A and B are shown apart, each in its own frame.
Chain A
Amino acid sequence: MRTHSRLTAWGLISPWIVGFGLFGLFPFLFSLWISFRDYSPIRAAAPRFVGLDNYAHALHDPAFWSALGTTGLFVVGTIPFTTAIALLLALTVQPAFRGRTLSRVGFFLPSVVSVVVLSLLFKGLYAPAGPLNAVLGSLHLPTPAWLLDPRTSLPAIMAMDVWSASGYYMVIFLAGLQAIPRELYDAAHLEGATSWACLTHITLPLLRPTLLFVLVVNTVRSLQIFAEVFVMTRGGPLHSTTTVVYYLYEEAFYRFNQGYASAVAYLLFLLTLLLAWAQLRLVQQPAPGGSGSGAAT
């Protein structure tokens, strides 16, 4: 009877174990192995063990550093805006009012649409003779070439990302807001606290775990930006939008340096872990305990 139970349990869980092993753990370890080799499918010779050469190559390659810089700029230039807008939207659509669900659904909408579609859409909006420049022109403002100009190409993609991601993080902030006990606000109002005081002394301190979650998830996601670049600029002009993952893709599938690309992937993975850990340390300072402890924000 017990062995039978065990067998059923293993039977139920085995598809996941097989899938995880074949398409998760094995590739993960395998890529570590090839990152130490000069692996390339278009070379006749068998791949040789090259030790840390691939990693050294990456760290000495200006193209890698440029891609890293572009990705860093993207992260630093989008996350503060996305987070602030998402928080403001959440505070706006949290209280009960007529049509609240409609507004939440509207702001979330870009999150369910394919990134390819969003990218095509913005490529059209940003076209030199497109609607954005038509509006700017009629207001007598400068009309840059947006995606075709290396000075504006990255900011243009960043603006699209802020537009499309804010609604998603708004919903996560809503979850955090919902978890704050109503009694805290009732007590504060009894003692004559203003709305502003409630915001800075109750809402924001208690939202800290949610803020941390939003920062970490958005950082990890932003380090992976790829489809936007592929569709809108293919890394150009003049590599101004080549992110690490796009660089990785080109190295692996255009130049077929797959050993080198694996090393770059591992560096990106380590960087992701490091940043997530740093944010955890930074935001997870002593959490304000209990109710109105008057924690500074």
Chain B
Amino acid sequence: MSADAPPVPGRPVEPPAAWPASLLRWLWIGPLLLTMMLPFAWMLAVSLSPGSGGSLTRSLAGPLRLDHYRALLGAANIGRYLLNSAAVAAVVVTLNVATAAMAGYVLGRRRVPGERLWTLGIVATLMLPKQVLMVPLYLVMHAFGLLDTYGALILPFAVDAFSIFLVRQYVLALPLELEEAARLDGASDWAIFRTVVLPLMRPVLAVVAIQSFLTNWNSFLFPLIFVDSDRLRTLPVGLALLSQTEHSVDWGFLMAGSTIASLPVLAVFVLFQRHILSGVLAGAEK
């Protein structure tokens, strides 16, 4: 757990375990895992139940229909929420990766006076619970005229202290030789950053992008207070508010919405689980 280790360490390859011992272990991990997964299975089953009414206690093995998904896309603005979530996430992730790459590189190479102070600033931001800023951030957004705009969903989250910290730690462990060689060849700082450093940082930037996507896609409190218009709502906010108004007991409808909201993160998780787990581990190393 050394502080300067790169966030994506190569794990030593262990020999695969024998089948009998593994099966024995699954005898009790299996039921445990199934219990953990049961709520998700129920969510899916209810979302696929036919018609309305009585769907709350349906058995997991009933008939499957897409009725609720059709109702969802027909009635509510779920499509709009989905689009908003996707667009906001795309912009935030891009800005996050760009700013983290730049600032993390500079801080990792101690290229500005007061590097220690800036790094301290980042660590302090990491410790600060964001909810504490609920009121003042709202007032700042109000002063900038950003309330109820896409800007409010994007700008405060474009720069992320944790992302910068991850990149800084990674850069600290990168060898200096390549950059020095490029400098001797007369390359400018910007050229070195773009053509030498950026490709080397790809693994940590992938971790940053995935973390940033998961956080942003699921974010709730700030989109809830920054945006009033229905047409600007993101999926979690839209879903939460729908569940408290006309659809409060329409479980098929709500579970269909929940399933749709979960599919993108599940896809990202299945595709990149190695990066995600290593991102959590890097967080534990700070």
Contact = CB atoms under 8 A, between A and B. Distances in A.
Contact of A22 (B26, B122, B140, B214): B140
Q: Range of interface residues on chain B?
A: 35 or more
B280 interface: yes
Contacts of A172: 280-281, 283-284
B107 interface: yes
A31 B255 contact: no
B133 interface: yes
B286 to A, nearest CB: 9
B42 A116 contact: no
Contacts of B240: 116, 119-120, 227, 230-231
A117 B21 contact: no
Contacts of B133: 23-24, 27-28, 31, 265
Contacts of B107: 13
Interface string A129-142: 11100100000000
Interface stretch (A183-191, A194-202, A247-255): A247-255
A17 B158 CA distance: 12
Contacts of A238: none
Interface string A5-36: 11011101101111110111111101100100
B236 A20 contact: no
Q: Chain A contact residues: over half helix, strand or loop, or mixed?
A: helix
B102 A15 contact: yes
B37 A109 contact: yes
B29 A93 contact: yes
Contacts of B17: 95-98
Q: Chain B contact residues: over half helix, strand or loop, or mixed?
A: helix
Contacts of B84: none
A62 interface: no
Interface stretch (A75-83, A100-108, A145-153, A284-292): A100-108
A234 B136 contact: no
B78 interface: no
B99 A104 contact: no
Nearest to B54: A129
B82 interface: no
A296 interface: no
B99 A19 contact: yes
Given A9-B106, A176-B1, A127 B138 contact: no
Contacts of A109: 36-37, 40, 266, 269
A117 B258 CA distance: 5
Contact of B134 (A120, A210, A248): A248
A249 B283 CA distance: 28
A154 interface: no
Of A15, A17, A253, the most chain B CB neighbours within 10 A belong to: A15
Of B132, B140, B265, the most chain A CB neighbours within 10 A belong to: B132
Contact of A12 (B22, B102, B138): B102
Of B29, B122, B217, B255, the most chain A CB neighbours within 10 A belong to: B29
Nearest to A88: B32
B184 interface: no
B73 interface: no
Interface string B266-286: 101110010011001101110
A117 B37 CA distance: 14
A117 B136 contact: no
B251 interface: yes
Given A93-B29, A113-B262, A23 B128 contact: no
B227 interface: no
Nearest to B110: A9
Contacts of B42: 121, 124-125, 131
A192 interface: no
B15 interface: yes
B91 interface: no
Contact of A26 (B140, B218, B258, B284): B140
B132 A265 contact: yes
23 contacts: A15-B103, A27-B136, A28-B133, A98-B22, A98-B23, A99-B22, A103-B33, A105-B269, A105-B270, A107-B36, A109-B36, A116-B220, A120-B240, A120-B255, A121-B39, A129-B57, A224-B129, A224-B131, A227-B221, A230-B224, A261-B135, A262-B135, A265-B131
Query: A-B pairs with the 3 shortest C-beta distances?
Result: A19-B159, A27-B136, A98-B22
